[in-house]
């Protein structure tokens, strides 16, 4: 069941998006602008609390020579100021060095997700692990055209899971976009053993051409905001849900140890 965010009534969604010649700045208090599940809950003991987010992304992003793995940092931020943060901090035998990281949305590990594919960190930070359904309902227009839902840390735009049938033709119609990741066949060679069933991130592999997207869950194409075309990411209903790597260069403001751009670059 969804309910209003369980925070003080005076604490409402606050987000400010501004730009200068080089950057787009997103500042927010981390309070969602849509109903959420009840927190704390049986499988998530944390309450939603205001944050002090100050993110910065390149206004004109560029493809980097090589991809950058996401690691345990947020992938990007939604237009309502809520982070896209897919990585679960749970590992087989509670050992990050085991090489087997639990997948938050696979259904085998109950982390108390609400109907927005979101839950709350111990810091009180509400964050998305998948498609932000509540935000999509707020924005409208879903399934009629590609819907911009946020920006990745490298500056490229993020869209919900519908895009043009022909990525280079805005008049080609809309379809649900699929990732190119599939479950591996057979059994795990070590660690937890057993069949590859989606319990762990390492249960999946990228198979080029099996879906619509590349290994970072993105593609080049036209969108309403970028009619000349741009590389852009998708949040998909299937793994990896939220991308796990960057085609561009992520800004340091998204790194856990750095929570904002240099003071001289803050928006007014």
Q: Per residue in 200-234, pLDDT tens?
A: 999 999 999 999 999 999 999 999 999 999 999 99
Domain definitions of the chain by residue range:
1-268
Q: What is the pLDDT, as a whole number, of residue 164?
A: 97
Structure tokens at 80: 């309502």
Q: What is the pLDDT, as a whole number, of residue 144?
A: 87
Q: What is the pLDDT, as a whole number, of residue 59?
A: 97
Q: What is the pLDDT, as a whole number, of residue 258?
A: 44
Q: If we measure between CA atoms, which residue out of 51, 10, 5 comes closest to residue 27?
A: 51
The two beta strands, 53-58 and 157-159, are: unpaired
Stated length of the chain: 268
Does the global pTM surpass 0.85?
yes
Q: What is the pLDDT, as a whole number, of residue 16?
A: 98
Return per-residue pLDDT of the chain as tens, 268 residues: 444 445 544 589 999 999 999 999 999 999 999 999 999 999 999 999 999 999 999 999 999 999 999 999 999 999 999 999 999 999 999 999 999 999 999 878 899 999 999 999 999 999 999 999 999 999 987 788 999 999 999 999 999 999 999 999 999 999 999 999 999 999 999 999 999 999 999 999 999 999 999 999 999 999 999 999 999 999 999 999 999 999 999 999 999 764 444 433 333 2
């Amino acid at each position: 069941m969804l309910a209003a965010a369980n925070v003080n009534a005076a604490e409402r969604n606050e987000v400010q998006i501004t730009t200068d010649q080089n950057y787009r700045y997103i500042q927010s208090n981390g309070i969602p602008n849509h109903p959420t599940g009840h927190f704390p809950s049986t499988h998530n003991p944390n309450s939603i609390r205001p944050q002090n987010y100050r993110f910065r992304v390149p206004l004109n992003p560029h493809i980097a020579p090589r991809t950058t793995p996401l690691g345990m940092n947020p992938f990007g931020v939604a237009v309502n100021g809520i982070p896209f943060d897919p990585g679960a901090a749970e590992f087989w035998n509670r050992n990050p060095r085991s090489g087997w990281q639990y997948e938050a949305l696979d259904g085998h590990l109950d982390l108390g997700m609400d109907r927005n594919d979101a839950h709350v960190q111990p810091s009180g930070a509400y964050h998305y692990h998948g498609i932000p359904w509540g935000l999509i309902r707020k924005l409208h227009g879903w399934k009629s055209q590609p819907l911009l839902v946020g920006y990745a840390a490298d500056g490229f735009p993020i869209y919900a899971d519908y895009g043009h049938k022909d990525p280079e033709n805005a008049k080609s119609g809309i379809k649900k976009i699929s990732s190119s990741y599939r479950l591996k066949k057979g059994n795990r060679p070590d660690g937890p053993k057993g069949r590859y069933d989606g319990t762990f991130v390492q249960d999946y592999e990228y198979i080029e051409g099996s879906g619509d997207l590349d290994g970072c869950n993105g593609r080049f194409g036209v969108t309403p905001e970028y009619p000349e075309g741009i590389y852009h990411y998708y949040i998909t209903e299937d793994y990896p849900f939220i991308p796990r790597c960057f085609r561009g260069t992520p800004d340091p403001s998204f790194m856990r140890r750095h929570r904002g751009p240099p003071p001289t670059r803050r928006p007014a």
